[in-house]
Chain A
Amino acid sequence: MKVLVVSLLRLGDLLQMAPILTALKRQMPRYQVDLLTHVHPKLAQSLLPSIEKWWLMDRDELQSGLGEAEIPLLTSFSVLKEQLDQINEQKYDLIINLTQTQFSAWIMAYLQSTDRLGLSFDRRGHAHFHSPWFRYLNDHTSPGEDVFHHTDIFANACSLDLTQDQHFFSETSKGQREWESLKIEKPFVAIQALTSDIKKNWGLEAWQKTIDSVITRMDRDIVLLGAPFERAQLEKLKSNLNLNRVHLGVVSLEGALSVLNHADLLITGDTSITHLASGARCKVLELSLGSSDLHRTGIYRSGNLILQPRLKCAPCPHSGACSQPTHACAQQLDPEIVSEIAQYFLTDAWNEMSTKAQKVSAKTQIFKSRILSTGFWVAEELSQTEPLKIIDSILDRSTLKLAFNNSSEQIVTFGSEGVRLKNEISDIVDPMLFQSAVARLDFLEQDLCTQQGRFEVGLWTLKRERPVVTDQLVDVTQLRQQQRHLKDEARKIEIKIKLVRSLRSQLMENT
């Protein structure tokens, strides 16, 4: 059986999908898993050994063919057609689109397969998602919403269990040689100072202050990570620092992985290195600036940190320039706070970190990444003044999971999900607060029952509607859509009520 995964975004997005690709191969070992991507194989193929065939669609080249006056108008069309026809000749059984863009949807429309998952247009241009998870991704696009992590959405859409084992990238001999050539002997902190998006950049001056502070506080050397085209900027940064303790780590992605596996800590902006670090062994402190949306794309490994300035405009939309007169988020993030948090992180001083998080919470949010036993990634705010609020977030995730993954005819195992929820909450919430948690659940159940009543009335009202031909026709399609929406929402409420009851009974056993 042949599966084609379509990932037509950037390198970082592809690396973020690595756990999905590995799990696909693990759960379907006899399947051939191929990849259609814009990312050149020399950049990442060695890090994704589960991929058998790498189809490169050179986006930059196609764009230049459309725009440059010296290239025949039909060249991009012909090259694209020939490649997709070649892909169609492979007769894939399943094509999974992990790119939620119109471009990929049109490509999916042209590609042929027995089955498909993900966004695809049909011949008439109507969108199909083939899974409620992809529809959810389409419907929840506002930056900063508390939504599922992209990796969770794709994993659930593909019915993959990522909790079975932690995904790690494998080092290559080339990467190890690059690491050895750096000749770094002392413990060090890796720094990824540059990103591909100017809005996500913190600024070299801020990095310089942080690095000076890290060297002083933690007595660690520093390795400045970067690609060859970033060398000049990194040399400039290095020239303003303690030259004995700062090393340039201008390496390939394979080399960067080896560096990360030797580092005590990585401090980084939102870049492809962050997603590479998800599959490495060092601790990660991620700085979420500009359009970086931590809930969707934060470091996908438990126990790491994300710092985000508390601003109304954060995160900002990807497209478009910064809306502020100055780069407010970058300016608000204090280098001393970053280095102090890094120090606590390195020494596992979580109590001190929580205290600091409370003190700085007006201006800076500090999150700890966690992968729940229910299978979802969450970002837990360390200065959370309402510690029980996390229960709402966890319940919502479980509700949607059960709603999306189970048809209405199947029996949903609320009991076992309730046990998982209870175990999760036991880890996060102080047992002294369990009684308050039970009270909160009581209130939640009452509220949900009230909502349930309203939905039932709404559904009954809609059922009584008849399409009547009068001066104005009743829109039958709209009625059906409303009915479907109400049924979906009513079902979610029903599931959530059952989960609340299951969780409450679990918690009451412990109070």
Chain B
Amino acid sequence: MIEILEAKSGERVVKLDGRLLASRIDPRAEAQTWLKSRMAFVNKVKTIFVLGLGSGHHIQEIRSHTDARIVVIEKSQELIETVQPWLLGCVDVVIEHIRESRDLRFCNSVRDAIKQSFIVLKHPPSLAVAQSFYDGCFTQLLGRDWGHLTWQWNLKDLPALESQPRVEPKGELLTIYDLAQTELVTNSSERERLLLKALRELVK
């Protein structure tokens, strides 16, 4: 159920199923603080995925900092219908309604975005409403397990990392060390290998 409230600062704030999706005091200030701690790559990547539409203030905040495409992943259709009109002034913002996290990989705007550089920003109030859904989306976009890594790699239309998985991830998440052990890097002359070798040097 959706309620629209007014924050002390005068902005609109949405309550979804009894949970506030932004600060009741000053949602713009909250959005500024949220983004300030997440600025890595914001001005470098072609796409910024945002998990959770919230009340839209954090989307506006991102837009004020970068021209990158913003792709918002949101589980609630009702929320999208409510908040999307508030973002009409924000150019190049795509809001995708995804019912189940496994549907993410079939979404065209997601597939297109993955072909180039991107980051993923999580909106904590939205995650609190549908934690496992957004966790599932995040894992796919993070690409730090073999299955999702190869899905993303193949979307980029690059030479195959390898034909058979040889990489044994140390701990839970893959790292550049694991990528550096793939067939592409150890036994090919493809140009992409050169970049992975360079990146490997950065963490030595």
Using CB atoms and an 8 Å cutoff, list the residues of chain A in contact with chain B.
58-59, 61-82, 84, 101-103, 106-107, 109-110, 121, 123-125
Contacts and interface: CB of A to CB of B under 8 A. Distances in A.
27 contacts: A58-B44, A63-B203, A64-B40, A65-B41, A66-B202, A69-B142, A70-B142, A72-B118, A72-B119, A72-B120, A73-B142, A74-B153, A75-B117, A75-B119, A76-B176, A77-B195, A77-B196, A77-B199, A78-B117, A82-B117, A101-B201, A102-B201, A103-B198, A106-B195, A106-B197, A110-B198, A123-B189
Contact of B195 (A59, A61, A81): A81
Contacts of B153: 74
A125 B197 contact: yes
Contacts of B40: 61, 64-65, 68, 71
A124 B179 CA distance: 18
Given A74-B143, A75-B117, A80-B199, 13 more contacts: A62-B202, A65-B40, A65-B41, A72-B118, A72-B119, A73-B176, A78-B118, A79-B41, A81-B117, A81-B192, A106-B201, A123-B191, A123-B194
Contacts of A63: 202-203
Contacts of B41: 61, 65, 71, 75, 79
B117 A79 contact: yes
B202 A107 contact: no
B173 A80 contact: no
Given A107-B198, A123-B194, A69 B144 contact: yes
Interface of B: 40-41, 44-46, 116-120, 122, 141-144, 149, 152-153, 156, 173-176, 179, 189, 191-192, 194-199, 201-203
Nearest to B153: A74
A73 B144 contact: yes
Contacts of B175: 66-67, 73
A107 B122 CA distance: 32
Contacts of A81: 117, 192, 195
A69 B194 contact: no
B198 A75 contact: no
Contacts of B194: 106, 109-110, 121, 123
Nearest to B177: A66
A99 to B, nearest CB: 11
Contacts of B197: 106, 121, 125
Nearest to B204: A102
Nearest to B189: A123
A68 B199 CA distance: 14
A70 B134 CA distance: 13
Contacts of A77: 195-196, 199
Contacts of B191: 110, 123
Given A78-B117, A110-B191, A61 B44 contact: yes
A84 B118 contact: no
Given A73-B149, A77-B196, A79-B117, A103 B202 contact: yes
B93 to A, nearest CB: 20
B199 to A, nearest CB: 6
Given A73-B175, A79-B45, A59 B202 contact: yes
A323 B126 CA distance: 52
B192 A67 contact: no
A106 B46 CA distance: 24
Given A69-B173, A73-B142, A78 B45 contact: yes
A67 B202 CA distance: 10
A194 B189 CA distance: 46
A80 B116 contact: no
| 6 nearest A-B pairs in the assembled complex, by CB-CB distance | A78-B117, A106-B198, A103-B201, A110-B194, A109-B194, A123-B189
B195 A110 contact: yes
A79 B141 contact: no
A80 B120 contact: no
